[in-house]
Amino acid sequence: MNLENKDLKPPPHLSPSSLATFEQCPLKFKYGKIDNIPDQSGKEALMGNFVHDVLELFYKLPPADRTLQSARHLAAECWNKEWGDKIADVVRRADEIKKIRWQSWFCIENLWLIEDPSKVVPTGIEHELNDSLGGVTLKGFIDRFSNNADGGLVISDYKTGRTPNKNWVSGKFEQLRIYAALMNLTSLAKASQLELLYLKDGVKFTEEVTDESLKNTVDRVIGIKEQIDERCVSGSFEPTKSKLCDYCSYKSICPAWSRK
C-alpha cells in the first residue's frame, strides 16, 4: 500500500483520543481520521460505551434515587433497548456476550467502592467541548464534572479497562488535562482537580491542575497538530508496531503486517 499520497486534507477538528492515536501510530490516525475508514469497535470499546451510557442516566437521577437497585434497572433497560443487539453484532458466542454483560455490571457495581453516588453533585454530564486550544480546533465529551468545596471544577472520567501501574498513571491524565485547559477558556469556574475512575477494580486516581501542566498540554497539542499538518503535505504517515496492534481493526491492511 502506498503511503506517499500528497496533499492530504487534515481533519477539521481533533479530539484527545485522536491526538493519542497519532502518537501511538500515525498510520492508524490517517486510516481513521483522514481516509475515514470505519474503525470496527472491539468488544472492550463497546463494553465501555455501554457502561458510560448507564452511568450518564444514573447520575441524572436525584441523589436519593442513586441506589444499586436503580443502577441495575438502568443497566437492564439499556441492554435490552440497544446494547445487547450492538454487542451481539460484534461478539457472536452466547457465552462471550454473557461474560461482557457481567463484566459491565461489575464495573457499575464497583462505583460504590470509589464514591458514594448519592453524595456526588454533578454540574455537567457528558458535556460537549468544541473550541480551540493554541489555535487547534478540538472536540470532546467530559464524562462528568462537579464543583469542589473551593468552587473549582473536578473533572471525572470513567475507565472500564485495566487499571494501570502507578508509574504509568500520569500519561492517562492527558485527556483530562486537555479538557481542563478547554474548560478554563469557556467556564466561569476553573478546573482544579482531575480524577480517573477505574471501574474494573474500583480504583480512583487524582491529579491537581497546575498552570505548568496546562501549559505543557497546550504545547503538546500544538506540536502534534504541526506534525499532522506536515505529514499531510508529505503524504507520509508511518506505521508504528506495538502490542496495541493486536487490538487494531486496521491490522489486516497495514503494510507493517503485510506478508509480502
Q: Which amino acid is at 45?
A: A
Residues 6+ apart with CB under 8 A from 98: none
Cβ atoms within 10 A of the Cβ of 9, count? 7
Residue 124: predicted pLDDT: 93
- Please give the DSSP secondary-structure letter assigned to residue 150: T
Rounded CA-CA distance 195/173 in Å is: 8
pLDDT of 194? 97
Strand partners, 129: 140
At residue 66, the pLDDT reads: 97
d(CA 189, CA 154): 10
Stated as kind and residue range, the H or E segment containing 246 is none
Q: Which helix (H) or strand (E) holds 138?
A: strand 136-147
Q: Are the beta carbons of 219 and 208 closer than 8 angstroms?
A: no
Distance CA 84, CA 98 (A): 10
| Integer Cα distance of 214 and 16 in angstroms | 14
DSSP 8-class letter at 161: S
The pLDDT, as a whole number, for residue 260 is: 54
Give the model's pLDDT for residue 186. Answer: 79
The DSSP H or E segment spanning 207 is: strand 203-208
Q: Give me the helix-helix angle, 94-109 and 68-78, nearest 10°.
A: 150
Q: For residue 239, what is its C-alpha cell?
A: 506505521
The whole-model pTM stands at 0.89
Taking phi over 0 as left and psi of -120 to 50 as alpha, with beta for the rest, 7 belongs to left
Q: Identify the pLDDT of residue 41.
A: 64
Instruction: Please tell me what DSSP assigns to residue 255.
Output: G
114: Cα within 13 Å, side-chain hemisphere: 24
pLDDT in tens, the chain (260 residues): 444 455 799 999 999 999 999 999 999 999 999 999 988 767 888 899 999 999 999 999 999 999 999 999 999 999 999 999 999 988 889 999 999 999 999 999 999 999 999 999 999 999 999 999 999 999 999 999 998 878 889 999 999 999 998 888 998 999 999 999 999 887 767 899 999 999 999 999 999 999 999 999 999 999 999 999 999 999 999 999 998 888 888 988 999 887 65
Q: What pLDDT was estimated at residue 2?
A: 42
| pLDDT value of residue 120 | 93
